[in-house]
């Protein structure tokens, strides 16, 4: 892929909140902006506005406005060689070191997983 095209795509494949490539891409349904799922979930704990365009999200149930975007995530994996393999390796290492974390719903920060009870 030509470098100019990859550079142009980079902004669309990156999370504005953490600055890394999208991991578990999630999209706000009201404005269609996308973020890493864990980044936007944490952000919505303290704000009920899209961090890019300030469109309000549901005040009492902000997570109901999020949709996992598997198509966008697949594009990230195809454009960024090795990202998927690195994520899976880091997740395996994490769960090897934290066997009880599998009892919780897994989330990912950047490319390092952690567990959230729930």
- pLDDT tens track for 44-103: 999 999 999 999 998 888 888 899 999 999 999 998 888 888 888 888 888 888 877 666
The domain that holds 69 is classified in CATH as: 3.30.40.10
How many domains would you assign to the chain?
Answer: 1
CB neighbours of residue 115 within 10 Å:
16
- Calculate mean pLDDT across residues 10-36: 93
The pair phi, psi for residue 109, each rounded to 5°, is -110, 120
pLDDT at 19 over 80: yes
* C-alpha of 59 from chain center: 21
CA geometry: angle at 66 spanning 72 and 73, to 5°?
Answer: 15
58 or 33: which leads in pLDDT:
33
Contacts of 57 by beta carbon, 8 Å cutoff, 6+ apart: 28, 30, 44, 48, 49, 50, 65
Query: Range of 46's domain?
Result: 3-116
Q: Tell me if 78 sits within 8 A of 51, measured CB to CB.
A: no
Between CA 58 and CA 5 the distance in angstroms is 36
């Amino acid at each position: 892929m030509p470098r100019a095209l990859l550079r142009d795509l980079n902004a669309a494949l990156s999370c504005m909140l953490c600055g890394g490539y999208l991991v578990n891409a999630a999209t706000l349904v009201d404005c269609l902006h996308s973020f890493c799922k864990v980044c936007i979930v944490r952000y919505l704990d303290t704000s009920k506005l899209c961090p890019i365009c300030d469109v309000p999200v549901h005040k009492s149930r902000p997570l109901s406005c999020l949709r996992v975007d598997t198509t966008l995530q697949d594009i990230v994996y195809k454009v960024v060689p090795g990202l998927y393999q690195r994520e899976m390796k880091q997740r395996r290492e994490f769960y090897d070191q934290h066997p009880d974390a599998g009892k919780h719903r897994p989330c990912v920060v950047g490319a390092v997983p952690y567990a959230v009870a729930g």
